[in-house]
Chains A and B, each alone.
Chain A
Amino acid sequence: MYQSKWRVFSNHTILILGALFMILPVWIAFASSTHTREYVFQNGLQFWPGAEFFQNYGAILFDASATKGRVTAIEMLFNSMVLGLGFAIGKVIISMMAAYAIVYFRFKLAVPLFWVIFATLLLPLEVRIVPSYEVVANLGLLNTYTGLILPLIASATGTFFFRQFYRSVPDELLEAARLDGAGPIRFFIDILVPLSVTMIAAIFIIMFVVGWNQYLWPLLMTTDDQLYTIVIGIKQVYNSLYEGGQIPQFPKAFALTIMATIPPVLVVVIFQRMFVKGLVETEK
């Protein structure tokens, strides 16, 4: 498509402005996280990085007292990672299997059941959070990773996407596999899963980010600092900002924020490649 120079220039200007608009707050948070708390307190948010990078990040990562809790950022990152991965992997597996049953097995009520699953999209976590909490509490799963992850891994969205994808897989593949002596489990593992790699990557990315950013559920579920996720940790640090007569921990709160954003960004960057590669490969 032909584009005039002016057009190219204006497009890029808009693009760059948009990018700056998105990146600037993150940059300011980063720059401010590298100063002493006294400096930030006196001079406000900083645009240029200071000299306290290692000092601040080191303290927040490895020293529990820096976050005013009994948990280091490294532990919180680990918890978030467990939650994010468990959440995403669990959702992918459960929704793949649910969709497989709905699409490939002729059982009564398959269609109504699908719509029941689909209808749960209308109900956000917050609606069922009290009964869910009750169930988890009765099962004795409060303050465990299982309790943190298990109630969240059923996914109507994932089931829906996998269902749509399976329906687009030609029936002849199933028939060829049947003639080749592949039973339902073999067909699923040997044919369907490899064909779904792109879908799996896409859903994994989305779900990991959603899981990583979970706030309300982990907050309710965990009373033990050791199980805090980093998103809760940020909140705790901000909470402690105005407690006592000390100078607020602005740089450390910012440092925690920056660290909380890095893993999802990495996941998106890494899996995006796979995702695009998968798209290109199946397209041909």
Chain B
Amino acid sequence: MATVTLNQAQKTYTNGFKAIHGIDLKIEDGEFTVLVGPSGCGKSTLLRMIAGLESITDGEISIDDKVVNKVAPADRDIAMVFQNYALYPHMNNYDNMAYGLKNRGYSKAEIDTKVREAARILQLEDHLDRKPRQLSGGQRQRVAMGRAIVRQPKVFLFDEPLSNLDAKLRVDMRLEIKNLQQRLGITSVYVTHDQVEAMTLADRLIVMNGGVAEQIGTPIDIYEKPASQFVAGFIGSPAMNFLKGKVSDDKKHVTVGDGVMLDLDHDIEAGRDVTVGIRPEHLELLKDGEGRINAGVRMVESLGAETLAYLDFGANADNVTLRLQGTHQFKKGEKLSLSVPVDKIHLFDIESGKRL
């Protein structure tokens, strides 16, 4: 059981590219932390820095208050699960799991106990004699997890472990990972670009962008109070709607699109130009004439359990997405009357994108 502390950890590649711009983070004992962000945001680099596979060019990373900057990966007492499993193809699954223990000088009997225990937890007992290639993707990923848990490491690191699996299996494995982590109580860091995985797995979420941690918080915090326009747009599906707006003189309203007025409950100066963010699921459909907003339907997508409608908010605005439960039969061009609860309106600075 362990804590992981990052103190201004930075990574600059020899070609001068700065992948990680100084990150401060304390991962508590037993916490499941998820690093999420678009491709190239540095999330994998950060994970590999914790693993010791990438050097730390500035700042410090400590595991259990011991600085590990110069400690070899094998001596950090961590285990990692890779996206493409990285199982040794010539060894059977038993040996794959046992290899790390063998190198650490465990006795045959100890190795056997540990491997069989891990196999039992992961339901791999029947597959120990087989080679990895004889298993399905999900089973292979379980062997890879087995290889991680047999060592009972201080920290688990997951590098997009589910990206190679099909959608259904991904959901199953997601639950399995969460379950396993809670049962074993091992501090974990998990990298993904899939925000559903991020939201469901994380005790704490770190949204990264361009080598910077844009926001660190619980998934619900981040969903409800995104710190920036980037985070707001990245977390949540379909993505948050962004509209150009202007705060009214009495500070009680903001005008978006072609003169649509929305109520405001922010402490903000009058007449300021802002970006207004509204989640598709926070737009409420009202009876004709009751809502502040009137918008025409451009397109409808029916998913069965929910309906997505793309609305016309005027010539200056992009499509605005509306997400409703159940099925709705909208016609193209039909005018809808909508409103947004005042506490569901997010305002962001036009320049910096910071939350206002």
A170 near B88 (CB under 8 angstroms)? no
Closest B residue to A173 by beta carbon equals B86
Chain A residues with CB under 8 A of B257: none
Interface string of A147-188 (1 = CB under 8 A from B): 000000000000000000000001011011111111000100
Q: Is B74's CB within 8 Å of the partner chain A?
A: yes
**CA–CA, A176 and B51, complex, Å:** 11
A178 near B88 (CB under 8 angstroms)? no
**Main SS of the interface on chain A?**
helix
A175 near B104 (CB under 8 angstroms)? no
Chain A residues with CB under 8 A of B133: 284
Range for the number of chain A residues in contact with chain B: 10 to 19
Interface size on B (CB < 8 Å)? 24
Q: Is A51's CB within 8 Å of the partner chain B?
A: no
Q: Is B78's CB within 8 Å of the partner chain A?
A: yes
Q: Is A194's CB within 8 Å of the partner chain B?
A: yes
B86 near A176 (CB under 8 angstroms)? yes
**Main SS of the interface on chain B?**
loop
A180 near B86 (CB under 8 angstroms)? no
Chain B residues with CB under 8 A of A180: 74, 99-100, 103, 147
Q: Is B168's CB within 8 Å of the partner chain A?
A: no
Q: Is B38's CB within 8 Å of the partner chain A?
A: no
The smallest beta-carbon distance between B195 and chain A, in angstroms, is: 24
Contact A179/B73 with A172-B84, A284-B133 known, Cβ cut-off 8 Å: yes
**CA–CA, A176 and B147, complex, Å:** 10
**CA–CA, A182 and B100, complex, Å:** 8
A186 near B82 (CB under 8 angstroms)? no
Chain A residues with CB under 8 A of B80: 175-176, 179
The smallest beta-carbon distance between A3 and chain B, in angstroms, is: 33
Q: Assuming A176-B87, A180-B74, what are 13 further A-B pairs, CB within 8 angstroms? A: A170-B84, A170-B86, A172-B84, A172-B86, A176-B86, A178-B74, A179-B100, A180-B103, A181-B103, A182-B74, A182-B103, A194-B90, A195-B89
Can you list 17 A-B pairs with a CB-CB distance of less than 8 A?
A170-B84, A170-B86, A172-B84, A172-B86, A173-B88, A175-B51, A175-B80, A176-B88, A176-B147, A177-B99, A179-B51, A179-B78, A180-B147, A181-B104, A190-B99, A191-B90, A195-B89
Binding site for A on B (CB under 8 A): 51-53, 72-74, 78-80, 82-84, 86-91, 99-100, 103-104, 133, 147
Question: What 9 A-B pairs are tightest by C-beta distance, nearest first?
Answer: A172-B86, A180-B100, A181-B103, A181-B74, A176-B86, A194-B90, A172-B82, A284-B133, A178-B73
